[in-house]
Amino acid sequence: MKNEQFISWCDRAMAFSFYALIYFLPISIALSETFTGLALLFYLLKRGGIFYRDLKQKSSKGIDLPIWKKGYEFLKAYKPVDNCLNRPITIFLLFNFISIFLSEHPNVSFEGFMGKSLQSAFLYFNFIECINSRKRLKIFLTILLVSCLLICANGFYQYFEGHGFIHGCMYSGRMASSLRQANDFAAYLVVVIPILFGLFVTGVCKQKQIDAQQLPDSFTTHFCKLKILTFIVFVLAVVCLGLTYSRGAWIGFFLSLAVFGVTNRKMFLPFVLVTVIFFSVFYPRLTEKRIPINDAKSFKEQNNRLGYWKRALDIIKDYPVFGSGLNTYSLVSQRYTVGWGGYPHNSYLQLTSETGIVGISIFLWMLIALFTSSFQARKKIKVQSLRILLLGFSTGLLGFLIHSFFDTSFYSVQLGSLLWIVIGLVISVQKIGALESAANS
């Protein structure tokens, strides 16, 4: 009994860690890392409790397992929950581990594998294990809503006062709020905006009553109460995105909402309206903010990205199959330029540079598997709110992936965690929807 209570307590502690993580993710790198570590710690403790419970049950039945079988039971206790990404993620991790021995800098690659690859995978597996019910998903999304409101408010305070009330970050012509730079803030917003849009649509959609015994949809009921707040945060987030003047994020925003509007035809007109207003207001100021006409230095800076991409392509030519090694780009790129090597401002080119064609192919396989399962699940899920939320999560992820073509968002501590959390959201809502559909059939 005590063991079951311990397992249950660890599970709740994991969920709390993710609630805190999504709240503090855009605010503090240190707190983000802290709660990521706590989620991992409680996951390991929970699975250890499961292993101990299973051994104790077998022992009470008089079954004495040999050492090798105890080892098997130990590995079985730590097996991730079943989902469509288990195979591609496992193969990707296995390849990253092997690439350590092929790396130009094995020590650096080992650090990257332990600190980035494994941590990201565990973050994802932890998330889908504990955010596994309507109640927890509602709490998580509500905290995300509150956190986004705080960050947008900080962005506007920064815009009007010259500095934010979080960290005191100065305004430099492009809104960055509490994140390190405007492009990071834009990457965060391009994920959150479609999710906010999905929450608002969920709150205003009327539930179709199949029979008199049908219970109200808890998501629709909950977010109906928050629909005004959700709409306000959505508008604030869109305006903040405009004030970042991040062109890659604008492209991701436009295409993600376009997919949302085309997939959910009732939302096509609002999508067109939002797009027209957004570009009418912010596009005329883009040239002024990003490329002053007579500023040769600024014009040169705009063309640096092409130089970064060319350098990444040169590395790929020299290390085409397995790459130069995980986490080695900033070191290897110094041989291809004068001074600091920098980053290519393209997550896919950096990933290909470090892991080669094999690595990027496995990663793209994972994304294809994710979106394919999302498309198939949306057809099978019978609950309207879950279909809308799945669409919001998927299009938010799509916007982030598009923006990552113009920046190295995959390699940011905060944004890298956000990427895997949103992937986890897509899978979690699929699993919740599948369970409810099976229960109602």
CB-CB contact of 100 with 113 (8 Å): yes
**What stretches of 199-250 adopt beta strand conformation (E)?**
none
Domain around 66: 1-79
Q: Which residues of 268-295 are buried (b: 16+ CB within 10 A; e: fewer)?
A: eebbeebeeebeeebeeeeeeebeeeee
Distance CA 407, CA 8 (A): 40
Question: Are residues 185 and 59 both part of a single domain?
Answer: no
Collect the ranges in the chain with pLDDT lower than 50. 209-213, 292-301, 339
Residues 6+ apart with CB under 8 A from 73: 51, 54, 55, 65
Question: Are residues 22 and 97 both part of a single domain?
Answer: no
User: First-to-last CA distance in the chain?
Assistant: 34
Question: Are residues 148 and 53 both part of a single domain?
Answer: no
pLDDT tens digits, one per residue of 74-108:
888 888 888 999 999 999 999 999 989 999 999 99
**pLDDT at residue number 206:** 64
**pLDDT at residue number 344:** 86
Closest C-alpha among 260, 214, 256 to residue 383: 214
- Does residue 314 fall inside a structural domain? no
428-432, Cβ contacts within 8 angstroms, sequence gap of 24 or more: 428/127, 428/128, 428/131, 428/132, 428/137, 429/137, 429/386, 429/389, 429/390, 429/393, 430/373, 430/374, 430/377, 430/381, 430/390, 431/83, 431/128, 431/132, 432/132, 432/133, 432/134, 432/137, 432/386
Question: Are residues 125 and 209 both part of a single domain?
Answer: yes
CB-CB contact of 194 with 217 (8 Å): no
Total count of domains within the chain: 2
Domain end among 79, 110, 125: 79
Q: Which two tokens stand for residue 355?
A: 């892991």
Question: Are residues 377 and 263 both part of a single domain?
Answer: yes
- Does residue 322 fall inside a structural domain? no
**pLDDT at residue number 156:** 96
CB-CB contact of 189 with 244 (8 Å): yes
Distance CA 36, CA 21 (A): 7
Question: Are residues 62 and 99 both part of a single domain?
Answer: no
Q: Which residues of 52-66 are buried (b: 16+ CB within 10 A; e: fewer)?
A: eebbeeeeeeeeeee
**pLDDT at residue number 297:** 46
Question: Are residues 18 and 129 both part of a single domain?
Answer: no
φ and ψ of 133, to 5 deg: -145, 160
Domain end among 40, 59, 79: 79
Question: Are residues 417 and 352 both part of a single domain?
Answer: yes
- Does residue 299 fall inside a structural domain? no
Sign of CA dihedral 93, 98, 100, 104: negative
φ and ψ of 417, to 5 deg: -65, -40
Q: Which two tokens stand for residue 296?
A: 């040769």
